[in-house]
Structure 1
Amino acid sequence: MPQQPVTDPQPVTEPMSYQRSATGRQSSVDPQSVTGRRPVHRMVPSPAGRIHLVEQGSGPLVLLVHGFPESWYSWRHQLPALAAAGFRAVAIDVRGYGRSSRPDAVEAYRMLDLVADNVAVVEALGERSAVIVGHDWGANIAAHSALLRPDVFRAVGLLSVPYTPPGGPKPSDVFAGMSDPAGPFAGQEFYVSYFQEPGRAEAEIEPDVRGWLAGLYAALSADTMPAPEAPDPHFVAPGGRMRDRFPDGPLPSWLTEKELDVYAGEFERTGLTGALNRYRNMDRDWADLAAHQGAPITQPSLFLGGNRDASTTWLADAIEAYPTTLPGLTASHLLDGCGHWLQQERPEETNRLLTEWLAALPG
């Protein structure tokens, strides 16, 4: 039946009594307390310290992992839809975001640590396995969770960012090469390179978090992104800032002022360093995952992308390689006229495709 989107971003404030989960570890979740009628906020232990999550529904566990710069709130439209379809939907704040722990060390945000957090969440919820679904950086985290822990993650859904197996050239070398004097972006700096130096991007973003977020969300949304002939917002001009290329206009149609306030309020409270530290570990990930070079993900998988998203156009070769890299792929869709923020730009279509795929999974 119709469900209202989740709009309450406040954490649970009442004391939580810990129970023993099926794994023997302590859990802050009482499965009997989750009725599916409303979202419930929880804090569960993890290698990061604690992970904040929002849970709705009962049934097979579906773990939802957000990207940058987002939070559990990115899944506000999916939580009630999955609950209504008979699933236990759980959206987390990735370490460094929202109300989850924010370790100080840059290296605490490497991929191996994020995978360990996801495993800990499943165990804290008293479950043995889950389907994991991610968007943007969350797609990358979900893919590597499935790759490294197939015993826990029985299927994987990827939104916006295609799977590319570990290996290949060192990431920092690839990004530096994108400003090659002979290339189309000569002298410009790719945003991932711009994010590498601690404090640099923070100095741009944190004086006006709300304005920066509004500009980035608009820059990558189908209805507000710059025209094809305009300077690409993924690149920074010499001596410039990312926001110099963000559109100066209305919010995208999927984002209300109140919803923007939720995102901005969290990042104004936490700062951006924890979120940006994910980008600062890409070379560490490259070394950590060297033993898995070229490895496919064999579990059942789903890919959803927008045909106006740079992630799907730049990585078109990765999508074409799916018969080799995702041999368990059972559904793949490019949504026409959709940008990067897939599950928020097109929530009804995303919910339909996601629930159809989940319902068809074995077991």
Structure 2
Amino acid sequence: MSQPSLTTDVTHRLVSTPAGRTHLVEQGTGPLVLLVHGFPEFWYSWRHQLPALAAAGYRAVAIDVRGYGRSSRPAPVSAYRMLELVADNVAVVEALGAETAVIVGHDWGSTIAANSALTRPDVFRAVGLLSVPYTPPGGPRPSEVFAQLGGDEEFYVSYFQAPGRAEAEIEPDVRGWLAGFYAALSADTMPAPGAPDPHFVSRGGTLRDRFPAGRLPAWLSDDDLAVYAEEFERTGMSGALNRYRNMDRDWEDLAAFHGRPITQPSLFLGGALDASTTWLTAAIHAYPATLPGLVASHILDGCGHWIQQERRDQVNRILTDWLAALPG
């Protein structure tokens, strides 16, 4: 299937990384800006940012995180721990002939970007975080926290833990599941206040039981959905879901960084209707201590989770203004 013309001027490359190979898409020349997607997406979620950043004088590079797209998909679940993903990002920067980069991430990509900046400040000179606020490593063990959420219902992160369980729900109808998941977290199609929360699963039920049906969000065309569905039909979902299955390992691996702030120049963007942002309001309020280099923080009214696609022009303006103000 041909992809929309928005992506025709990009260059696809495969580079050697600890994952095996990492697929990336780049556009433009200038200082390197590394774009890291979240779940369940791949480099394509940055299709609106690549040309905008290139036009502003940057070398914009969107990767497929290991387990996604055309990047390698190692078999062991433990291969998807955070420090492995950080190592992939460092290797991408080196493979592109750069010494440093600005890193920007959305959803899981926000957490990957934050931990890349935290653990490798020598490589990542600034960090932009979309939708998921920064919280320093540490605190209670993640699996214990998630198990306590929802009462008689099961939080989606806990639901994703057992290999094969979520795959059995998603893979028989990837296109339909993705359409519902994207709609459930988009401002114009998410369930009304008071409706059952799509982040939780009824005992014996599935996530898709609570997805809205029959209408795609405004940001997602049929062609865009086909691109996403085609990729996940080809790869399967295990590589993507394995990120969730390493949160306790991350907690252990990052013990030396528990409680540490990120000191590089930073940016946060969140949607006012996005649970990923609103649930972590306390983390945003803690930014003077946890992100002392914060340049700007924006909460976009009427915006859901897929922020760089729902509000592409606004996000592009904020990103390019922030990048232009960074030192050196």
Question: AA paired with 2:65?
Answer: V
* Counterpart residue number, 1:249: 214
1:311 and 1:289 map into 2 onto residues whose CA distance is 22
* Counterpart residue number, 1:98: 69
* Counterpart residue number, 2:135: 164
For residue 172 of structure 2, the aligned residue among 207, 214, 221 is: 207
SS in 1 for 2:125: strand
Question: AA paired with 1:62?
Answer: V
User: Is this contact kept in 2: 1:51–1:95, CA < 8 A?
Assistant: yes
For residue 111 of structure 1, the aligned residue among 68, 82, 86 is: 82
* Counterpart residue number, 1:28: none
Q: Are 2:242 and 1:277 equivalent residues in the alignment?
A: yes
* Counterpart residue number, 1:292: 257
Q: Deviations over 1:19-51 (max 9, x none)?
A: xxxxxxxxxxxxxxxxxxx21000000000000
How many residue pairs were aligned? 325
Taking a change above 3 Å as real, the CA distance of residues 7 and 39 of structure 1, as seen in their structure-2 partners, is closer
Q: Are 2:307 and 1:342 equivalent residues in the alignment?
A: yes
2:235 and 2:85 map into 1 onto residues whose CA distance is 19
* Counterpart residue number, 2:316: 351
- Gaps of at least 5 residues in structure 2 are none
SS in 1 for 2:16: strand
User: Is this contact kept in 2: 1:206–1:268, CA < 8 A?
Assistant: yes
Q: Deviations over 1:104-148 (max 9, x none)?
A: 000000000000000000000000000000000000000000000
2:78 and 2:193 map into 1 onto residues whose CA distance is 37
Question: AA paired with 1:131?
Answer: V
- Gaps of at least 5 residues in structure 1 are 9-37, 179-184
SS in 2 for 1:104: coil
Question: AA paired with 2:134?
Answer: Y
1:237: Cα distance to partner? Answer: 0.1
Q: Are 2:139 and 1:151 equivalent residues in the alignment?
A: no
Q: Are 2:194 and 1:229 equivalent residues in the alignment?
A: yes
1:249: Cα distance to partner? Answer: 2.2
Larger radius of gyration: 1
User: Is this contact kept in 2: 1:54–1:72, CA < 8 A?
Assistant: yes
1:84 and 1:327 map into 2 onto residues whose CA distance is 30
Question: AA paired with 1:150?
Answer: P
Q: Deviations over 1:201-230 (max 9, x none)?
A: 000000000000000000000000000110
1:6: Cα distance to partner? Answer: 2.6
**Where does structure 1 differ by over 3 angstroms across 4 or more consecutive aligned residues?**
none
1:305 and 1:358 map into 2 onto residues whose CA distance is 18
* Counterpart residue number, 1:140: 111
1:289 and 1:108 map into 2 onto residues whose CA distance is 15
SS in 1 for 2:128: strand
For residue 46 of structure 1, the aligned residue among 3, 17, 20 is: 17
* Counterpart residue number, 1:190: 155
2:5 and 2:254 map into 1 onto residues whose CA distance is 38
Taking a change above 3 Å as real, the CA distance of residues 169 and 5 of structure 1, as seen in their structure-2 partners, is farther
1:186: Cα distance to partner? Answer: 2.0
* Counterpart residue number, 2:145: 174
For residue 360 of structure 1, the aligned residue among 322, 325, 328 is: 325
Question: AA paired with 1:347?
Answer: R
1:5: Cα distance to partner? Answer: 6.2
1:362 and 1:228 map into 2 onto residues whose CA distance is 43
1:68 and 1:340 map into 2 onto residues whose CA distance is 11
Q: Deviations over 1:231-271 (max 9, x none)?
A: 00000001000000000121000000000000000000000
2:279 and 2:298 map into 1 onto residues whose CA distance is 16
2:109 and 2:124 map into 1 onto residues whose CA distance is 14
With structure 2 as the length reference, what TM-score do the two structures score? 0.98
Question: AA paired with 1:49?
Answer: G
1:7: Cα distance to partner? Answer: 3.9
SS in 1 for 2:299: strand
User: Is this contact kept in 2: 1:5–1:76, CA < 8 A?
Assistant: no
1:291: Cα distance to partner? Answer: 1.1
SS in 2 for 1:6: helix
Q: Which has the higher contact order (CA 8 A, sep 6+)?
A: 2
1:147 and 1:244 map into 2 onto residues whose CA distance is 38
Question: AA paired with 1:273?
Answer: S
1:272 and 1:248 map into 2 onto residues whose CA distance is 21
2:225 and 2:252 map into 1 onto residues whose CA distance is 37
Q: Percent identity?
A: 78
Q: Are 2:89 and 1:89 equivalent residues in the alignment?
A: no
1:186 and 1:103 map into 2 onto residues whose CA distance is 35
